[in-house]
Each structure stands twice: as structure tokens, then as C-alpha cells.
Amino acid sequence: MEKKKTILTLEDENEADYSAISGLCELLIKTGKNYDLSKIRRAYLFARDLHSGQYRKSGEEYISHPIAVAELVAGLELDTDSICAALLHDTLEDCGTRVDLAAINESFGPDVAALVDGLTKLVTIQFEDKEEQHIENLRKMFLAMSKDVRVIFIKLCDRLHNMRTLEAKPDDKRRMTALETMHVYAPLAHRLGMQRIKQQLENLALAYLDPIGYREISDDIERRHDLNKDFLARVREQIHDRLTESGLEFLLSGRVKSVYSIYRKMYEQNKSFEEIYDFYALRVLVNTERECYEVLGIIHDMFKMMPGRFKDYISNPKPNMYKSLHTTVMGRGGIPFEVQIRTHAMHKIAEYGVAAHWKYKSGEESPDDLDNKLAWIAKLIETEDGTRDPDEFMQALKIDIFHDETFVFTPKGDIITLPQGATVIDFAYNIHSEIGNKMVGAKVNGMIVPIDRVLQTGEIVEIITSRSSRGPSRDWLKIVCTGEARTKIRSWFKREKRAENIIIGKAEFDRQVRKIWPQCNEAQRSEAALNVSQRFGFSEPDDMFGAIGYGGISLHKLNPKLTEELERLAKAAGTTTSQPGDQQQSDQKPRRHRSTGGVIIDGVEGCQVKFARCCNPVPGDSIVGFVTQGYGVSIHRIDCKNVRMSMSNPEHQDRWLRAVWDSDPNEKSGRAGAFEAALTITAIDSVRLISDITYALADMRVEVIQLNKNKNGTSEVDVHLNISCRSVEHVNSIISRLRGIRDVNRVVRSGYVD
């Protein structure tokens, strides 16, 4: 190597220096974006010098890894700083004390330094094969520690390259890395909508976790693809011709689904390979949303639609921003296949997710769960147009998604989630109330800290306890920020102040007795106290008084039992609790027989309710319940033809129950839009018919559950449609819109008696 160098000119030497990143530079130039190549070259030289003498397990020079990661990052078309950070990402961790953040900051600026720092910190998160909750926290922590979305993108590329080269690692290391990839990295890529990276990660991980299963499925896919090659080619040609005829500008491609997605279906839904019919998918890319529905109409016109397999992710996008139309249809030879229809813009997002495009918008609310948070980033990082202010663009990447949460470790590596501002005391009570009550001090990252210390994400917290602790101090109530800690501290005081609580509780009890039965004597009151306390599960009345004293038993809970006891005692004494002229009100309201599903049924309480498929009742319809054998009560519309028939059958007569919709808004919430209605549309057939219907529904944000077109023996066709709706008013508004579609002659709800 040395020898070679001496015979090169200075210029040649430079060229030789950069030959390792010539592929990377080509990729960057191809994007057509304005990359600072000289900065990227400097970053490469910087990393190469630091990694010199280091080798990967495969025997390659270490620098090959950061270069490969930078190439993947270039594939996402991230900015210059991201490329530099990718090249430098392992310099802090793997090169020991030879370099520090300050040096990177000096040479490449604070942005690159922050990215490299973020990437290095993520290494400290240790994955262990644990339960789902732990893994979910791990994902959150990962995001919280990233601080900048670019850190996640680069980290995913780093992981992808590590997975591609995992073969060189020892066996146990491979398994752990593959598991971590499957449980932490792939789901994150999924939630960020980065399908392309997600699928590669899943497939690579599966190949290590279940090599036999992986091989079996990929062989099966290959076999079946060979078998159906002619069929699929024919179908593709047919679609191609029809779309060309219609004058659309489109891109048609076909692909076999990923090994992992089929693996999951087989094992999670317990299906055989033969039962998974949509192993093959055709994809049609068009220019506009309107054209997507047009193509859908053409596809449904050409092939028979498989019931329940139509998904409109354009009007109902997935939380990760995925938009597309999916439908599974049956080819002429009876072989089903899936068709995905979307615009080019939607496709880019489907492949690269949040990384595809961005623009900053302020003033958005930040929602609670992880999916919503990521969707929120997605919303901030708008997707539709290419115009963006570079400053705003940088801002958008530095969203602190978990600004309201803090993630810290226990000494064992468990992750504890606390609200922002949580202190050491909050942490202690989160672990266990006894840890909190016995706490005398704490260590953060190995150093003793005051117990009112506010915790930061990523810190390791250790609580020092002592048996001789005299318990929490009242001041702690002012320091803690979680309700949990406050409640636990209070309850400690309640326990400690038992004598006082009993006195307060007994006074309250006596007051209630006087209210219910003013004539009650001392002996009767004692007997009532004993009986009621036993009914609450206490061994003596003092325990109950104590509980009443600190609020553990509310009057709301006490009074019904106390009233019953006093009434019993009064009766035994030949009198009643309520005297003539008393204003006493009975607490018992007339009983409502409420059941699940927002329906009230006469004479039945809390039973299972289902909605009949023959008439699909929705709120607002007149309904009636039928007691099924073993499946609860089935709700029909009163005008359902099955009801007419069954009611005339004497054997069924006592199985019909009166039913009404529960108008209580609290009961209904959460079920809004959850009802299914069936419609029959009669129309003159045309190529546009299905696409017009689908488009009208999408425009009204109505979810389609099923859609089928049948010839009805006349010159017209019947379109059977199942949709999701909220109420009868909602259905009626949908019907009237559908009636306005050209060539549509009639729209009715299915299952009526005419």
C-alpha cells in the first residue's frame, strides 16, 4: 500500500483516497439535490483515519460499514449533515478516547455533532427478550432519545446494514440482534411508514430467527409463482390493455409479497400456504386520486371482487400515512390476486414514509399514544408539495415527540415512564409504595442526588432504602408530580393516623344513621355498624370507620348497604325507617335493562347483543330482539322480512323481545360509525359505475366493507354494498347522494319488506 502511494501524483492520490466513496457520490449526484460533496469527503477521511486498523468480523476494513450506511441514507435522500453523520456514526463509540464530540463539532458543525451524539447514545439502550410492554417502552425510549427524526432514519439504515452482514457474527449475538430488529426496529420503520426498510429488516430477521420456516416459505412462493406465471402474465396483460384503452396514464407492476408477511399470516392466523391466496400483488400507479377510483372501477368491472377484501386507505389513511386502494379479485381461472392502486406521490410515501418529504406547520396539538405521535410528525412534515423553506425543514426534524414524558432505567435495565418533571420520589413510588415509604436517598447514574432531583430521559436511577426510615415527609406532597406518588404518600399518612380516622369515620356513620332512621336506638346502631362492616369485608366496625374516615369508603357506597340494614332492623322492631311526613327519597331508580351495543332490551340485562346480518339495523331504525340459542340477543329491524316470517311462527313467539336504542350519549360514544348498513343500488351498467359509487362514498368519508356487482336478469345491474355508518339519518344522507349518481335508478336498504 505504502509503495503504491509513492508513485502516485498528488491529484491521483486524492482520487485514490475517495475511490471508496465513489459509489456514494454517484448516488448523491443522481438525486439531483444540492449536496456539499467536499464536506462529505472530509467526513469520510475523518472517519477513515479514526477507524484505520479496525476490521469488521467479516474481515473487511471497518470503514466499509459507515460508507454502506451513508449509501442507504443517500437512498432516502436525506441532507448533507445526515450523510456526514452516517459516515461518522461509529467514531465516538468504537474509537475509544481518540475523538470526542467537540472535535466533530469543530470540524462539521453543531448539527452533525448532535446527530452523531444521538446515534451514539442509542447504543446504550440494551435490548432484552422481554414482554411486549417492555419492548413498547424500548421503542418509545428509542424515539425519545433520538431528539431528531434524522437520527432514527440513520439508525434504521445502520441496522439494515448490520442485518445484511449479520452472518459474520457469533450465533448468540445473531439471535439477539435479529430479535431486537424484529421487535424494535421493524415496528419503528413501520410506524414511520418506511415500508421498504421495514420489509427488508423483517425478512432478514426472520431468516435468522426461523431459518427453516423462512426457507420453506420462500421455496413455496417460488414454486407457486412459477406455477402461476402464465396466469399472472395474462392477467397483467389484460389489465394493461384495458387501462390503455381507457386513456389513462399509468404504471403497472407485479410483485410477490414479502416472505415475512406470508409467514405471519400462516402462523398468526394458522393458515396453510394454500389458504393464503394473495401472495401476489399487482400495483397500479396513476397521477391523481380521481384516477385511482377510476382504475378501481375498471378492475371491479373486469374481475369478481372477493367479499370483505376491499380497503380504502385513501379516504381512511393508516396512522403511518399509508394511502392506497386495495382489493382482492378473482381471475378467470379462479385464482385470486390483490391489486393495489395509488398515485405516484402516495407510492413514494408508502416506500419511504416520513422520510419521503416534509414541511413544517406549527400550532398542532400533540396527541397521546405512540401511533398518534408519529402520525403527528407525519402531519407536521407535510407531504404533498415540494416547496419547502430549508429552515422550516430543519425545524421539522427536531420535534421532541415525547416532550411530556421522561424515560429512565432501573439498575436492572427496566424502563420506567414518568411524566416530564418527575422526581426521584415519583420514581420510587412508581416502583413500589414500600420503596417510596422506606426511601432515604437516591443515586442517578451512580451519583448521590437530592430526592427532589428532576429526572432526565436516559438516566439510570437507583433508590436507597432503609428499614429504619421513618416514612415519607409531608413536604414530599409538594415535590412529587405524579398522582400515584401523591396517593401513596397520602395513604401512608392515612394508615399512620388510624386513631384519628376512626373517630372522624364513626361520627360520619352516626350522622348517616340519624338521617336514614332518626328513631334508631344505640343497640340498633351498633348492630347495623357490625353488619355493614362485615358486608364490606371488615372484621370489626373500627376498620370500617377508619376507611370512612380517610375516604376509602364513600357515602355513595355506604348508604345503600346501611339503608338496607336499618330497614331490616326497623322491620324486626315492628316499625319502618321512614316516618309519615318524611322527605326521604328512595335511591332506587326504576331498573333499566341495559345491555352492550347501545341497545336496551326488555327484561334482559347485560346480555350479548349482535346485529342481524339480514337487515343490518342502525340507530334510529325501529328494532326488535330475538333470543338466539347461545349467541345472546340478535337485533333485527322490525320491518326485516325474517322478523315477519318468524313472528308468525308460534314456537318463536316468546323469544321476541321489545328493544329500543339506548339514547344515553355516554353509552353510545365509542360506537359512533360502528354500524353496518347494507344497500342495494340498481343501475344501468357502465365502466364508470363502480368508480363513481366508490368515489362518492370516499368523498363522504364512508368506509366500504363490501361491494359486489351482479346482473339481475334485466338490462340493469344490482350493486350490493355494505358500508359503515352512524345512524339512520346518516344512511339516508348516503342514499340520497348515491341516488344522484348518473345511471343509478334506485337505491334501497337491503332486507326490507316492500
Q: Which residues are designated catalytic?
A: 93-94
Nearest CB to Mn ion, comparing residues 72 and 725: 72
Contact residues for 426 (Cβ-Cβ < 8 A; gap 6+): 418, 419, 455, 480, 481, 482, 484, 485
Nearest CB to Mn ion, comparing residues 158 and 692: 158
- Quick check: helix, strand or coil at residue 605? coil
Residue 373 β-bridge partners: none
Nearest CB to Mn ion, comparing residues 90 and 426: 90
Nearest CB to Mn ion, comparing residues 90 and 180: 90
| Pairwise CA distance, residues 153 & 353, whole Å | 10
Spatial CA neighbour of 658 closest among 618, 596, 599, 611: 599
**Rounded least distance, CB 159 to Mn ion, Å:** 8
What's the grid cell of residue 594? Answer: 341495559
Residue 442 β-bridge partners: 449, 463
Nearest CB to Mn ion, comparing residues 54 and 579: 54
Residue 255 β-bridge partners: 281
Nearest CB to Mn ion, comparing residues 81 and 90: 90
Contact residues for 176 (Cβ-Cβ < 8 A; gap 6+): 127, 129
Contact residues for 487 (Cβ-Cβ < 8 A; gap 6+): none
Give how far the C-alpha of residue 50 lies from the chain's centroid of Cα atoms, to the nearest Å: 41
Element (H or E) spanning 190, and its range? helix 186-191
| Pairwise CA distance, residues 358 & 360, whole Å | 7
| Pairwise CA distance, residues 637 & 612, whole Å | 8
What's the grid cell of residue 475? Answer: 413536604
| Pairwise CA distance, residues 691 & 693, whole Å | 5
Residue 340 β-bridge partners: 283, 326
**Rounded least distance, CB 692 to Mn ion, Å:** 53
DSSP state, 55?
B
**Rounded least distance, CB 72 to Mn ion, Å:** 11
Cα-based distances in Å from 415 to 179, 427, 430, 454? 18, 11, 11, 16
Nearest CB to Mn ion, comparing residues 117 and 312: 117
Nearest CB to Mn ion, comparing residues 73 and 635: 73
How many helices (DSSP H) and strands (DSSP E) are in the chain? 32, 20
Binding site for Mn ion (CB under 5 A): 90, 158
**Rounded least distance, CB 90 to Mn ion, Å:** 5
Nearest CB to Mn ion, comparing residues 81 and 565: 81
Q: Where does residue 457 fall: left (phi above 0), alpha (psi -120 to 50 degrees), or beta otherwise?
A: beta
Nearest CB to Mn ion, comparing residues 48 and 730: 48
Q: Is the torsion defined by CA of 690, 691, 693, 697 positive or negative?
A: positive
| Pairwise CA distance, residues 731 & 154, whole Å | 48
**Rounded least distance, CB 334 to Mn ion, Å:** 49
| Pairwise CA distance, residues 708 & 721, whole Å | 7
**Rounded least distance, CB 109 to Mn ion, Å:** 21
- Quick check: helix, strand or coil at residue 748? strand
| Pairwise CA distance, residues 37 & 84, whole Å | 10
Q: Which residues of 77-91 are buried (b: 16+ CB within 10 A; e: fewer)?
A: bbbbbbbbbbbbbbb
| Pairwise CA distance, residues 480 & 459, whole Å | 18
Q: What is the four-CA torsion angle of 732, 737, 740, 742, rounded to 10 degrees?
A: -120
Amino acid at 26: E
Relative to beta strand 609-611, strand 633-637 is parallel
Nearest CB to Mn ion, comparing residues 162 and 501: 162
Which residue number is nearest to Mn ion in terms of Cβ?
158
**Rounded least distance, CB 65 to Mn ion, Å:** 6
**Rounded least distance, CB 158 to Mn ion, Å:** 4
| Pairwise CA distance, residues 118 & 85, whole Å | 10
Task: Provide φ and ψ at 721, rounded to 5°.
Answer: -130, 130
198 burial type by CB count under 10 A (0-12 exposed, 13-18 middle, 19+ buried): buried
- Indicate the length of the chain as a whole number: 754
**Rounded least distance, CB 69 to Mn ion, Å:** 6
Spatial CA neighbour of 232 closest among 384, 114, 336: 336
| Pairwise CA distance, residues 303 & 423, whole Å | 63
| Cβ atoms of residues 75 and 197 within 8 Å | no
What would the 3-class secondary structure string for 81-98 be? HHHHHHHHCCHHHHCHHH
Q: Is the torsion defined by CA of 727, 732, 733, 735 positive or negative?
A: positive
Nearest CB to Mn ion, comparing residues 164 and 432: 164
**Rounded least distance, CB 93 to Mn ion, Å:** 8
Nearest CB to Mn ion, comparing residues 56 and 388: 56
